Structure 1
């Protein structure tokens, strides 16, 4: 008995170790419990539990078997599928969009989301009497695990951007410019000027505060809700001044997100339609910016951003679609001519301030979720000197 009890006592630690291993193996799958489901898996798993689903936005559900793919009527629902070209409603998951996500994911406000990939977390239960996901707790562009901040797009690899720019690779000068114009003008979704408000809340979201946007010139983080025309609000700054080409706010150059940025109403008015150059007096409320009667110098952190936006506009808008042929010259006081300057400064700023993470992410969000085109000078800043140097 004594020996038996001794052996039992000695065996207890080993037994506990075995039990621990068993528990570990049993619990291991929980590490993958939050892995995103396919749409097909979500359709077959309508249990009323919480699930995370990744799929392509394919339309706006309006009834059990009806999904709009154009002429969207609201921001309250979208349909997901495992293929961007899916047309069968039986292979779609209907997703409810609650008020906190409508500005960024509603199709009436964001028609450019169509055919893009998003990830949603919510309750897997019927919606419109159809397999669905309701009461979302997180929505984000791309296929990574979702967060409550829907502005970080899935990075584009160098190989995929090489594919996008395939027709331009190996070219230089006028040939490169012509190839890039064709690439960035093909398959583009044009936003309305009203839709720009909500888009900027996503493209320019403060990485440190998902409730705010970063203002271009001042660098201030300001509440997304303070968009408007009053003092203390932010509004839509046309970096390529809209009077330099007389395109106004018409869909196309007047609403192109690649040069529209949030800025304080007062600072925006001070910039007005001035060309870009160095020097002048310090701008009140926008430290690091300077201005005089005919030019504006932005803060150092966005000098390159401004340059690349200007070069994009000049290559994107070459006189087609009824708009002026925009161009960059080495002058200031260009007024209403379809020119903006100063070329020599913009070239220097592009070299001085290379693209940072914020600018690269913004380019990807515009491509993936809104316009479906890219600013080539963010992906390849060296192309600026090839074309303009």
Structure 2
């Protein structure tokens, strides 16, 4: 039995934050029914190229972006703005454990699909709304997009090279981290509500906002500001609180050196034949190294340029000093550790034969993740859902789906 076997999720989300949440639930064994607009479906189905190739090498309609967040779900193509479509969603919600939606604030109320309405027919329902700014506050009605949230939430103010260096200035992360982190927080909140329901017997409403999650995920940078009154600035590839903990240029490229404590720093100084640095009061402790980074880093940078990357990595590992390469994504999937952890897999796909997938990082000793389905094609399971979940016959299905 998967951890969430027998849990039913009605997924009214699209793009990334909501689908990332519901893919987590699906990977954990929940039966996730993804309700999509007929004809177009989830917006990300068209967010390409690249698209998944069919067995003849031609593009399918499935964008790689969509594939990344919709594994293990079933797709129901349904227009719930019609009376017939709305009744189907209501019937499914009555049997669901969880509803996840990411429409604008109040967007589902006019269809009777808001929490207050659905709670009347299913008091055990856990209902999670994901929006840019939450259900309250002066920005509640604004649309929220990851890129904007990264800027508003402070991430871009601390990401990128120093302003006075070439290439300096605000920089977004390489993936939609606000969306992804909100999806993760939403997953945790839903599971907590599911556990609480064992005690109360009742569901509850969960209000998730991208901006809230972006602010929360600044972690140590939040407390750096709150405790010092100093606004953190961009530090490029250096760390605000640890030194040396950054990218260094080496003879044939770059590597990451991540000295996390004073013992590691002493080992590093022995490795580079500069034991005098450990005796220098400016550098002996991390606090001193942070304050005096401008004098220390040039000394280390000069030494790091004297050896090739792989030589450094071998020597650093032998000395128990954390370090690593900066891999391109193709190198990631060729890495022996990534291969050993089986982070890439293939799932059968009706249009392409198979589709590549990145595995879930959640590993269980007794109830492992089950990769049941590739991300569904639009409406792939419509007939099955209507027949199996609602007991509809052929005529009813044909009338609704226009077949």
Q: Same fold (TM over 0.5)?
A: no
Superposition TM-score tier, normalisation by shorter sequence: under 0.3
Length-normalised TM-score, structure 1: 0.22
Which one has the bigger helix percentage?
2
Return the structure number with greater relative CO, CA threshold 8 A, min gap 6. 2
